[in-house]
A and B are shown apart, each in its own frame.
Chain A
Amino acid sequence: MTTAPATAEPIKCDRPPELKVVGMSKHFGSLVALDNVSMTLKPGTFHALLGENGAGKSTLVKCIMGFYTPTAGEVLIDDQPAKIVNPRDAHHYGIGMVYQHFTSVPAMTVAENLVLSRYDRTNLINWKREMEALEAFMQSSPFQVPLDLPIAQLAAGQKQKLEILKQLYLHSRILILDEPTSVLTPGEADEVLGLLREQVTAGQLSVLLISHKFREVMAFVDEVTILRKGKFAGHGLVKDLTVADMSEMMMGEKKEPTPVHKIIQEQTKPVLEVRNLHANKDNGVEAVKGVNLTVHSGEIVGIAGISGNGQREFVEVLAGQREATSGEVLVNGEPYGATRAEMYKHKVFALPEEPLRNACVPHMSVAENMALRTFDRPPQAKGFILVWRAIRDMASGLIKQFAVKTPSPETPVGNLSGGNVQRTVLARELSADHIELLIAANPCFGLDFNAVDFIHTQIVNARNRGVAVLLVSEDLDELLKLSDRIIVISDGQFVYESAIANADFAAIGRSMAGH
């Protein structure tokens, strides 16, 4: 990266400057990710950038930050053209970004991360002086994070606060936040956004917030700019708009999610029983600390929790990807070790998170991936020989039935979009004639409205057919919509359980935060 000594120090000013984006376009080859978008971030305002996944929000802010070189268009700071070719230049103009994924170094302490983030040229670090300066900074900042803890030991909420603190520490006057609350409890999100709102109101900061949570937009934001399929789709003051107006601008048409029709199950039996299960994380630290759970047929049990509280390890044990350190898993009353034979016998299926990593072989074709459960049994196999025609025919049928958009059944599944990878897995896992147990983990993460709606409908249909469903999700709205019973996991333990009819939103939020 080129170094520009003249721009190493930020322009220190008390008031945030005005940020204007004029006619910004970005093409990736033939794909137009951003098409002639303009917007203005007025000084001292809280501005939201709204849009579906793939609408171009991230592309736009990455162009502003100098991560991407825009195909056309420019950025004006206080009406002066600004040349921003890398994040360091953006920093010079007082623009700082908080990313969707944490950008702190896990093995380093908070203090080390803060010092490291500074764009100055001190080569030797005088830790005594730095610690004094950092403690003084921490005193004056809106939220506090312990300086001497390694990042790996911070909770998600603290990490997110640190990311914002980092920008304040760098004297950024314009903060760009890329879905900062996706890993926070509703309570934590309100705290963080509320404190930023105070700074904005005081005229200290401007904030550009990328979000798709209308609740946050309505509560904290002054102005919105809406993108759809890379194009400008609308703009306005939040006080003049309703949620319905904004969602219509986001999606281009009014769309109501398909309502969930749950059939009341007459006779249920326990399908999955988990008894006092313990499991470790990769680094040997205990992640699941003795959980007990029963899932009955025709029931969706939702597990809520902030990521990193043991739900990933829990699902991995149930899916056979991780060994439990102690405890028992029973399916239909028999010990279950997630071997292929047991999965087949008890009809256990799974929709794991990150399907491309956990449920597909990316270089194998869509047809081969769809056959992973069945290729070794008739009619797809005769003895040791695979019957390719049967595999292809089944795949063609499933591609049609589950509306998988793929050039052909022979296309490697890794070439498909996220939504279509998930549909491929869904087709494989939900097409079996008889399913007893379905384990789903964040099945809709990062998918667009249509894909989410489709998956929700499929899961509820499975439940109505009498399948026992365990749904682990970080999306509370999804859980409240689909579950019959909701459980909260915090620090590897189940800390809250309630039938959905009696579930208390505030209590769920509190137990997610570990209170």
Chain B
Amino acid sequence: MTTEAATEAIGWWGVPLAIIAGTMRGGTPFLFVSLGECLTEKSGKINLGLEGTLLMGAMSAYGVSYLTGNPWLGVVVAGIAGGFLGAIHGWLSQQRRVNDVAVGIAMIIFGSGLAFFLGKPFIQPKAPSLPTLELGAWSSIPAVQAALQISPLFLLGLAIAPLLTWFFKSTRWGLFVRAVGDSPEAARAMGVSIFKVRMLAVMAGSFLAGIGGASLSLYYPGVWTERISSGQGLMAVALVIFARWNPIACLWASLLFGGAQALGPSLQSVGIKEGYYLFNAAPYILTLFIMIFTCSPKQTLAGAPGALGKEDG
């Protein structure tokens, strides 16, 4: 790992630096998946299958980048692959007596299975990664330079969060999505097709999750392996609840998770080897605590879309 060699020069300062770097790197997939899930859940559907979508996006981005030599084409294909899985989820989960969560679990297995099957030939070869913006060029310290290599995908995610807020508030389609998610009866009375709105919301959300996958395989860690997502798609679902279905809060929550993820590797880089696996578990522990603190049997969550996950909504 580049940070590991570099931090030797700056000692303990490497820890916060690596966490900042990790926040931006590790936070990117969280950001895309959580924004995608936020959009999906605002329409009243839950998509747990984004874990599978993330893997499918990572695989297809890596594969296309390797085959064509163009990583940006890989990003686009990852989004399309995500949208395709989203279409399956959107259609299946809106059939009568079909439960979102059950379909979502099936889609995790289907998406990851498909990604592993199609991705076998791409595990060995090295695909071209996405170019990065060298924001650390002013510094002579290689560690700082390495840490401030920012992916354009991260910036794209930063832009999408406020854009999504604006979409929900000031566009007709945004109001439709919120209406369908909060009160399908009201939306139906206004002549809005619930099926169509949810289908498009699930597909667009999955498109974003697919791009999140591309950031895994083409930016950080920048390889394609079967263990690359390590549950980030599922954690993003928890993160949306933590963020109270607010895109801007999704952004902060994603950065927090990204930072938590970087804790283990950054401590390792300064030579703390004990408890490596424990520190690596930080995001999972964080998820657990968030679930415990935000959920109460006595009250429903403020901000939750009224019809979230309800059948025949």
Q: Which residues of A contact B (CB under 8 A)?
A: 1, 86-88, 91, 99, 101-108, 112, 115-117, 119, 121-125, 127, 280-284, 323
Q: A102 to chain B: which residues have CB within 8 Å?
A: 186
CB within 8 Å of A: which of B179-194?
179, 182-183, 185-187, 189-193
Q: Report A498 CB to chain B, min CB distance, Å.
A: 34
Indicate whether A103 sits within 8 Å of B172 (C-beta atoms), given known contacts A280-B298, A282-B299. Answer: no
Name the residue on A nearest B173 (C-beta): A123
| Residue contact A87 to B189, C-beta cutoff 8 Å | yes
* Distance between Cα atoms of A104 and B298 in the complex (Å): 26
**B171 adjacent to chain A (CB < 8 Å):** yes
Contact for A107 among B178, B187, B192, B296, CB less than 8 A: B178
**B175 adjacent to chain A (CB < 8 Å):** yes
CB within 8 Å of A: which of B269-304?
296, 298-300, 302-303
**B154 adjacent to chain A (CB < 8 Å):** no
* Distance between Cα atoms of A119 and B190 in the complex (Å): 8
Q: Report B107 CB to chain A, min CB distance, Å.
A: 27
| Residue contact A105 to B171, C-beta cutoff 8 Å | no
Q: Which 5 residue pairs spanning A and B have beta carbons closest together?
A: A284-B299, A103-B189, A103-B186, A88-B191, A107-B182
| Residue contact A124 to B179, C-beta cutoff 8 Å | no
Between A and B, 29 residue pairs with Cβ closer than 8 Å are: A1-B193, A88-B191, A103-B183, A104-B183, A105-B183, A105-B186, A106-B182, A106-B306, A107-B178, A107-B182, A107-B305, A108-B175, A108-B179, A112-B175, A115-B175, A116-B172, A116-B175, A121-B172, A122-B172, A123-B171, A123-B172, A124-B170, A125-B171, A127-B169, A282-B299, A283-B299, A283-B300, A284-B296, A284-B302
| Residue contact A280 to B186, C-beta cutoff 8 Å | no
Most buried by B among A104, A116, A119, A281: A116
Indicate whether A116 sits within 8 Å of B190 (C-beta atoms), given known contacts A105-B178, A280-B298. Answer: yes
Contact for B186 among A104, A124, A281, CB less than 8 A: A104
Q: A124 to chain B: which residues have CB within 8 Å?
A: 170-172
**B176 adjacent to chain A (CB < 8 Å):** yes
Q: Which residues of B contact A (CB under 8 A)?
A: 169-173, 175-176, 178-179, 182-183, 185-187, 189-193, 296, 298-300, 302-303, 305-306
Contact for A101 among B170, B172, B175, B185, CB less than 8 A: B185
Q: A87 to chain B: which residues have CB within 8 Å?
A: 189-191
Contact for B190 among A103, A122, A284, CB less than 8 A: A103
* Distance between Cα atoms of A1 and B195 in the complex (Å): 10
Q: Report B248 CB to chain A, min CB distance, Å.
A: 17
* Distance between Cα atoms of A107 and B177 in the complex (Å): 12
* Distance between Cα atoms of A195 and B108 in the complex (Å): 56
Most buried by B among A117, A280, A281: A117
Indicate whether A107 sits within 8 Å of B306 (C-beta atoms), given known contacts A115-B175, A122-B172. Answer: yes
Q: A91 to chain B: which residues have CB within 8 Å?
A: 191
Contact for B182 among A101, A105, A280, A281, CB less than 8 A: A105
| Residue contact A99 to B189, C-beta cutoff 8 Å | yes
Q: Report B264 CB to chain A, min CB distance, Å.
A: 36
* Distance between Cα atoms of A107 and B306 in the complex (Å): 8
* Distance between Cα atoms of A102 and B193 in the complex (Å): 18
Q: A127 to chain B: which residues have CB within 8 Å?
A: 169-170
* Distance between Cα atoms of A379 and B260 in the complex (Å): 61
Most buried by A among B170, B189, B300: B189
Q: B299 to chain A: which residues have CB within 8 Å?
A: 280-284
* Distance between Cα atoms of A116 and B185 in the complex (Å): 14
* Distance between Cα atoms of A325 and B169 in the complex (Å): 36
Name the residue on A nearest B193 (C-beta): A1
Name the residue on A nearest B184 (C-beta): A105
Name the residue on B nearest A65 (C-beta): B189
Most buried by A among B170, B173, B300: B170
* Distance between Cα atoms of A35 and B182 in the complex (Å): 36
Q: A117 to chain B: which residues have CB within 8 Å?
A: 190
Q: B191 to chain A: which residues have CB within 8 Å?
A: 1, 86-88, 91, 119
| Residue contact B302 to A283, C-beta cutoff 8 Å | yes
Q: A323 to chain B: which residues have CB within 8 Å?
A: 298
Q: A122 to chain B: which residues have CB within 8 Å?
A: 172
Q: B298 to chain A: which residues have CB within 8 Å?
A: 280, 284, 323
Q: Report B303 CB to chain A, min CB distance, Å.
A: 8
Q: B296 to chain A: which residues have CB within 8 Å?
A: 284
Q: Report B255 CB to chain A, min CB distance, Å.
A: 26
Q: Report B182 CB to chain A, min CB distance, Å.
A: 5
* Distance between Cα atoms of A108 and B182 in the complex (Å): 9
| Residue contact B178 to A125, C-beta cutoff 8 Å | no
Q: Report B5 CB to chain A, min CB distance, Å.
A: 50
* Distance between Cα atoms of A112 and B174 in the complex (Å): 11
Q: Report A314 CB to chain B, min CB distance, Å.
A: 16
Q: B170 to chain A: which residues have CB within 8 Å?
A: 124-125, 127
19 further contact pairs, Cβ within 8 A, besides A103-B185, A105-B179, A106-B183: A1-B191, A103-B189, A103-B190, A104-B186, A105-B182, A105-B186, A106-B306, A107-B178, A107-B182, A107-B303, A108-B178, A112-B175, A115-B175, A123-B171, A123-B173, A125-B169, A127-B170, A280-B299, A284-B298
Name the residue on B nearest A325 (C-beta): B298
Name the residue on A nearest B245 (C-beta): A107
* Distance between Cα atoms of A116 and B170 in the complex (Å): 11
Name the residue on A nearest B196 (C-beta): A1
Name the residue on A nearest B180 (C-beta): A105
Q: Report B259 CB to chain A, min CB distance, Å.
A: 30
* Distance between Cα atoms of A115 and B178 in the complex (Å): 13
Indicate whether A105 sits within 8 Å of B187 (C-beta atoms), given known contacts A1-B193, A116-B179. Answer: yes
Q: Report B270 CB to chain A, min CB distance, Å.
A: 44
* Distance between Cα atoms of A127 and B169 in the complex (Å): 9
* Distance between Cα atoms of A104 and B190 in the complex (Å): 9
Q: B193 to chain A: which residues have CB within 8 Å?
A: 1
* Distance between Cα atoms of A309 and B305 in the complex (Å): 23
Most buried by B among A101, A105, A112, A124: A105
Indicate whether A116 sits within 8 Å of B176 (C-beta atoms), given known contacts A99-B189, A103-B185, A106-B183. Answer: yes
* Distance between Cα atoms of A102 and B179 in the complex (Å): 13
* Distance between Cα atoms of A175 and B189 in the complex (Å): 15
Q: B176 to chain A: which residues have CB within 8 Å?
A: 116
* Distance between Cα atoms of A281 and B296 in the complex (Å): 13
Q: A86 to chain B: which residues have CB within 8 Å?
A: 191
Q: A123 to chain B: which residues have CB within 8 Å?
A: 171-173
* Distance between Cα atoms of A105 and B191 in the complex (Å): 14
* Distance between Cα atoms of A88 and B190 in the complex (Å): 8
Q: B302 to chain A: which residues have CB within 8 Å?
A: 283-284
Q: A116 to chain B: which residues have CB within 8 Å?
A: 172, 175-176, 179, 190
Q: Report A374 CB to chain B, min CB distance, Å.
A: 29
Q: Report B118 CB to chain A, min CB distance, Å.
A: 37
Q: Report A447 CB to chain B, min CB distance, Å.
A: 23
Name the residue on A nearest B297 (C-beta): A323
Q: A105 to chain B: which residues have CB within 8 Å?
A: 178-179, 182-183, 186-187
* Distance between Cα atoms of A283 and B299 in the complex (Å): 5
Q: Report A87 CB to chain B, min CB distance, Å.
A: 5
* Distance between Cα atoms of A323 and B296 in the complex (Å): 13
* Distance between Cα atoms of A115 and B190 in the complex (Å): 11
* Distance between Cα atoms of A103 and B190 in the complex (Å): 8
Name the residue on B nearest A122 (C-beta): B172
| Residue contact A282 to B190, C-beta cutoff 8 Å | no
Name the residue on A nearest B189 (C-beta): A103
* Distance between Cα atoms of A117 and B176 in the complex (Å): 10
